[in-house]
Chain A
Amino acid sequence: MSTVTTADHHDEHHDHKPTGIKRWLFTTNHKDIGSLYLIFALAMFFLGGAMAMVIRLELFQPGLQFVDPQFFNQMTTMHGLIMVFGAVMPAFTGLANWMIPMMIGAPDMALPRMNNWSFWILPFAFLILIISMFLPGGGPDFGWTFYAPLSTTYSNDSTALFVFAVHIMGISSIMGAINVIVTIVNMRAPGMTWMKLPLFVWTWLITAFLLIMVMPVLAGVVTMVLTDKYFATSFFDAAGGGDPVLFQHIFWFFGHPEVYIMILPAFGIVSAIVPTFARKKLFGYASMVYATASIAILSFLVWAHHMFTTGMPVFATLFFMYTTMLIAVPTGVKVFNWVATMWRGAMTFEVPMMFALAFIVLFTIGGLSGVMLAITPADFQYHDTYFVVAHFHYVLVSGAVFSIVAAVYYWLPKWTGHMYDEKLGQLHFWCSLISVNLLFFPMHFVGLAGMPRRIPDYALQFADFNAFVSVGGFLFGLSQLIFLWVVIKCARGGVKAPAKPWDGAEGLEWEVPSPAPYHTFDTPPQVK
């Protein structure tokens, strides 16, 4: 009886969906929600990028030309917040929504209504954040790290909106993470055992656990900022028995795992793309899984390496120096495994592979500067200079963002049913590769030479480098317009994509037609 009803119900909904805006507002379909996340992330990427352009414009020459210092600080703050919470994290969540059910042979995410909710609160969070810039006194201007007491006693009233927006982002992330975990644990197709999971699924599973553990910490610290500012608590105020350094401990206890939240899924993507285009199985699958888990565990033991100059006791400093250095080991294992995967393969160099290769090289450069930053005595000279800015943009832009772009090129045929324009894609790659290095490489030099970060104006010996960096920045910004063009063009039409457009690809997502039907794997596939 009940079986019949279910079947009827099911038939009715198969490939039928509301049209127009209602489809998107009320959707519980993982593919629709994945697309929403990705489009939102792209929009935020351009908004955050526009803010970076304002920063680079002001820094193009010494002196104050275009914006005042307060607005400059708002730009650096909003650029950071938007890129971290609005671009990179939602992009990875979008990829997870699209790909995880298809990769594990599940019909959808486990909690589809919550999935809808976790996306749709996000635009409102950013709306609130952006509106705060138009309040009298301007938006948040204390850096995306919002150190107390700059963000408490000395901030303006947009702080309340900032706190509220961060809360909503946190709720969205937590719900997304719960969905990923429940889906992976419960909805794998028969025969899809743990050690057969694609690495993208593994890395996302671990990322989701990190999210669930640290997002509440972020929520806690923003709430403490709120009560310190408005409700006369003194968590971070020495006059009331608090400690401003406590803020940094709590923030970075969230902040460091957050860094890995933004890079672990990237490892998964690269581990999918490199074997495909090298036509050779991923080298050291098991060690990749263990390395990911070790990085995640270590990420909870290194937070104070962001705080070496706060005057911690020397033994605490040593502890955090050693644990930080240790992270290089599992990260190194990953890089070596990728190179070993390529070794004696039969490689071709389509756009996803190009971005994945660039990821490996540039992420490694960012990783090596990370090892340098771990060395505390040297960190006293690097800390809060452009050397740090160079380091984290190498791992976040030419790392995380490049991996997302690689993933988009890799799976666009599956999503749209069309091949992207290979020539334009290659143009996008080469423009991005050259400009990203013009943009971020000289920052190492200008940082070593002594230029602090987050300053709107600088001494004259930094002028040449800054002009150079700004030109690189403008070129990188323009290059991304090519990406927008390629994606729109591919969505609108093009050469029909086969179910498996890449001959070396493996995985369940390539067994369904392109474009992927609205509902896939209603009947679970049998995994050998």
Chain B
Amino acid sequence: MLPWIRVYYVLRFDSLLLQNVRGEVNVAKTRSWRWSLPALLLAGQAHATGIQFNMTPGVTDISQQVYDLHMTIFWICCAIGLVVFTAMFVSIILHRKSRGVTPATFHESTKVEIIWTAIPVLILIVMAIPATRVLIAMEDTSDSDVTVLITGSQWRWHYEYLDYDINYFSILATPRGQIEGRLPKGDNYLLEVDRPLVIPTGKKVRFLMTSDDVIHSWWVPAFAIKKDTNPGFINEAWTQVNEPGIYRGQCAELCGMDHGFMPIVVIAKEPDDFAKWVEQEEARIAAIREEEQRLLALRMNIEEQMELGERVYLAHCAACHQPNGTGLPPMFPALKDNYVTTQDRAEHIKVMVDGRPGTSMASFARQLSLRELTSVITYTRNAWGNDTGDVVQAVEVYEYMQGKGE
């Protein structure tokens, strides 16, 4: 099928799951179920592909039940379709004027009408029973072992472990170059993040979901979880993953410009590995905090800041304000030759820390480390000919953040 498209990618679903994310080696088995139909359709190149035609059965008991329910209804619908279309096509073939038939004159029958009203009702009842059972099981979030608060924002996810001192943002890791076609696309194109969510296998994990701005929807097909994150409200969902592995999903509710670019990656680890990860992660976050305290006494030079600042800018800012700082006015103002980025230094820090309420400009106080925050401010004040020569220091940003409380 269309082999000339094929140059853009290698389609290996298995390799997708075996991918090494953030240097962590995870060997996962996939239960991804496929039809052999694509092999027939792709005669001659069947070896290369694993196109998925059907819903994934997933890796939890619930997702398996959802899959079974889906297949049951699917086959019932096929059977109904078969009966109706057979009757119709028999009629089309036999009862045509060109065969010299004379039309019958019957045009009503209460008995028949009652039969074909009653039979669908019975079929629907048969469908509704298992559907109700699965639904009630899905909604029971009690007795969970781990709780994660998931917060959606334009266009990234934030994960906060309520049982541990761990929280971080998770953003798209696919480079702009791949999206714009300047670089070859990787196997996990648009389905890779900088920091995946990590959960233990065999434990009931409860997700609390909310949003900082618009409605997003957190969807991981392998868990059969899709739940909207509503700003100002909290939704609940849960999962219990049976097999370690890497599972990928995407935001499912239109949430603005980069809705297509906020993927979800979840790594399920054995409980022991998970405990180790928690330890490492807590240590990492503690180290960052310590580093920040030390940073307050230090002065970073402009080269260092410009280098880090550019990286932060491309990852967090460029989607709206564009890599060359020209923005997409009026929704996303240009930062090049902007009054705030060239003149009003205090306002610049304020906007970065607090965001601009009522616009897409989020607060970056939690999203970025102090070091990153400082560097990106310096970067935008000196890039693209802004050339203010300003070198903002961490202590300046820190003081503003502290001063807010007063």
Residue in contact with B124 in the complex, picked from A239, A328, A336, A464, CB distance below 8 Å: A328
Tell me the bound Cα distance from A303 to B254 in angstroms: 19
For window 227-252 of A, CB contacts with B under 8 Å fall at 237-239, 243-245
* A445 → B minimal CB distance (Å): 5
Interface of chain B residues 131 through 145 with chain A (CB within 8 A) = 131-132, 134-136, 138-139
A464 engages B221 (CB within 8 Å): no
Q: Beyond A348-B96, A465-B51, is A380–B224 a contact (Cβ under 8 Å)?
A: yes
A154-B214 contact, Cβ under 8 Å, with A457-B261, A467-B2: yes
Closest partner residue, chain A, to B155 (CB atom): A69
By a CB distance below 8 angstroms, the chain A residues around B43 are: none
Given contacts A368-B77, A381-B221, whether A309 and B228 have CB atoms under 8 Å apart is yes
By the criterion CB–CB under 8 Å, are A61 and B254 in contact? no
Smallest Cβ-Cβ distance to A368: which chain B residue: B77
CA–CA, A476 and B127, complex, Å: 35
Q: Which A residue's beta carbon lies closest to that of B236?
A: A311
Q: Are B87 and A344 in contact (CB under 8 A)?
A: no
Given A73-B254, A321-B131, A333-B116, A150 and B214 touching (CB < 8 A)? yes
A344 partner residues in chain B, CB cutoff 8 A: 91, 95, 101, 103-104, 106
B402 at interface (Cβ–Cβ under 8 A)?
no
A364: which B residues are within 8 A, CB to CB?
81, 84-85
Q: Would you list which residues of chain A between 372 and 422 have a CB under 8 Å from chain B?
A: 372, 375-378, 380-381, 383-385
Check if B92 sits within 8 Å of A347, measured CB to CB: yes
User: In whole angstroms, what is the CA distance A287 to B136 when docked?
Assistant: 36
Bound CA–CA A467/B9 (angstroms): 13
* Known A245-B233, A445-B53; contact A70-B102, beta-carbon cutoff 8 A: no
Chain B neighbourhood of A238, CB < 8 A: 230-233
Complex contact B185–A460 (CB within 8 A): yes
Which stretch of B159-167, B328-336, B341-349 is in the interface? B328-336
Contact A448 B53 (CB under 8 A): yes
Q: Of A61, A69, A245, A328, which contacts B258 at CB under 8 A?
A: A69
In contact, A372 and B328 (Cβ under 8 angstroms): no
Cα distance A486–B81 in the bound complex, in angstroms: 33
Neighbour of B66 across the interface among A65, A309, A318, A378, CB < 8 A: A378
| Of the residues A284, A309, A342, A376, contact of B135 by C-beta under 8 Å | A376
B84/A150 in contact, CB under 8 A:
no
- How far apart are the CA atoms of A445 and B84 in the complex, in Å? 23
Tell me how far the C-beta of A40 lies from the nearest C-beta in chain B, rounded to whole angstroms: 29
**Among the listed A154, A286, A339, which residue makes an inter-chain contact with B87, where contact means beta carbons less than 8 Å apart?**
A339
CA distance A143 to B80 in the complex (A): 34
Residue pair B11, A461 in contact (C-beta under 8 Å): yes
Q: Does A325 contact B (CB under 8 A)?
A: yes
Are A340 and B88 touching (Cβ within 8 A)? no
B80:A368 contact, CB within 8 angstroms: yes
Closest Cβ of chain A: how far from B93's Cβ, in Å? 10
B389 in the interface, Cβ–Cβ < 8 Å?
Answer: no
Residue contact A325 to B128, C-beta cutoff 8 Å: yes
User: Shortest Cβ distance from A327 into chain B, in angstroms?
Assistant: 10
Q: CB-CB < 8 A to A326: which residues of B? A: 124
Q: Is A463 a contact partner of B181 (Cβ separation < 8 A)?
A: no
Q: With contacts A61-B8, A65-B181 known, is A142 near B128, CB below 8 A?
A: no
**Inter-chain contact B74/A372, CB cutoff 8 Å:** yes
Contact of B230 with A310 in the complex, beta carbons under 8 Å:
yes
Contacts of A464 in B (CB 8 A): 1-2, 5, 11, 49, 51
- Interface contact B232-A346, CB-CB below 8 Å: no
Residues A375 and B9 in contact in the complex (CB < 8 Å), given A283-B107, A345-B95, A383-B226: no
The answer on a CB contact under 8 Å between B135 and A454 is no
CA separation between A322 and B87, bound complex, in Å?
28
Number of contact residues on B: which range applies?
A: 35 or more
Q: A377 and B116 in contact (CB under 8 A), knowing A156-B331, A244-B215?
A: no
**B-contact 0/1 string along A323-345, CB 8 Å cutoff:** 00110110011011001111111
CB of A438, distance to nearest CB on chain B (Å): 12
- The answer to the question of B65 belonging to the interface, with a C-beta cut-off of 8 Å to chain A, is yes
Enumerate chain A residues within 8 angstroms of B128, measured Cβ to Cβ.
321-322, 325
Q: Is the CB of A309 within 8 A of B217?
A: yes
In the docked arrangement, what's the CA distance between A194 and B250, Å?
53
A-B contact count (CB 8 A): 323
A49-95 with Cβ < 8 A to chain B: 61-65, 68-70, 73
CB contacts (< 8 Å) of B360 on chain A: these are 154
B253 interfacial contact with A, CB 8 Å: yes
| B52 at the A interface (CB under 8 A) | yes
User: A314 contacts B135, CB within 8 Å?
Assistant: yes
Tally of contact residues, A, Cβ under 8 A: 101
Q: Is A175 an interface residue (CB 8 A)?
A: no
- CB of B135 within 8 A of CB of A318, answer yes
Contact B227 A375 (CB under 8 A): no
Instruction: Say whether B259 faces chain A, with CB atoms less than 8 Å apart.
Output: yes
**Beta-carbon contact of A377 and B105 below 8 Å:** no
The stretch that binds B, out of A21-29, A30-38, A125-133, A274-282, is A274-282
Nearest opposing residue in chain A for B62, CB measure: A377
A345-376 to B contact mask, C-beta < 8 Å, 1/0: 11111000000010011001100110110011
Which residues of chain B are within 8 angstroms of A357 by Cβ–Cβ distance? Answer: 88, 92
Q: Does A452 contact B (CB under 8 A)?
A: yes
A449 within 8 A of B: yes
Q: How far apart are the CA atoms of A377 and B132 in the complex, in Å?
A: 8
Q: Is B287 in the interface zone, CB < 8 Å from A?
A: no
For residue A68, give the distance in angstroms from its CB to the closest CB of chain B: 8
B189 within 8 A of A: yes
B271 at the interface (CB under 8 A from A): no
Q: Tell me which of A377, A455, A457, A468 has the highest count of chain B C-beta atoms within 10 A of its own C-beta.
A: A377
| Bound form: Cα–Cα A360–B121 in Å | 21
Q: Which residues of B contact A154 (CB under 8 A)?
A: 154, 213-214, 256, 359-360
The answer to whether A136 touches B116, judged by C-beta atoms less than 8 angstroms apart, is no
Residues in A whose Cβ lies below 8 Å from that of B329: 136-137
A458 is an interface residue with CB less than 8 A from chain B = yes
| Given known A-B contacts A62-B8, A345-B91, A378-B69, A333 and B117 have beta carbons under 8 A apart | yes
Query: Are the CB atoms of A458 and B185 closer together than 8 Å?
Result: no
Question: In whole angstroms, how far apart are the Cα atoms of A398 and B10 in the complex?
Answer: 34
CA–CA, A462 to B260, complex, Å?
13
Identify B215's interface contact among A150, A156, A361, CB under 8 A.
A150
Q: Which residues of B contact A372 (CB under 8 A)?
A: 70, 73-74, 77
Given the known interface contacts A375-B127, A380-B226, A381-B70, the answer about A449 and B53 at a Cβ–Cβ threshold of 8 Å is yes
- Contacts A65-B181, A137-B330 given: A329-B121 contact, CB under 8 Å? yes
Query: Known pairs A378-B55, A385-B252, A463-B8. 5 more at Cβ < 8 A?
Result: A64-B180, A153-B213, A244-B215, A286-B108, A448-B52
7 CB contacts below 8 A, A to B, read A73-B259, A136-B329, A150-B255, A311-B228, A332-B120, A339-B87, A464-B49
Q: Which 7 A-B pairs have the closest CB atoms?
A: A238-B232, A455-B260, A311-B235, A460-B9, A449-B52, A344-B104, A281-B107
A-side residues, CB < 8 A to B, are 61-65, 68-70, 73, 136-137, 141-143, 147, 149-150, 153-154, 156-157, 237-239, 243-245, 278-287, 309-311, 314, 317-318, 321-322, 325-326, 328-329, 332-333, 335-336, 339-349, 357, 360-361, 364-365, 368-369, 371-372, 375-378, 380-381, 383-385, 445, 448-450, 452-461, 463-465, 467-468
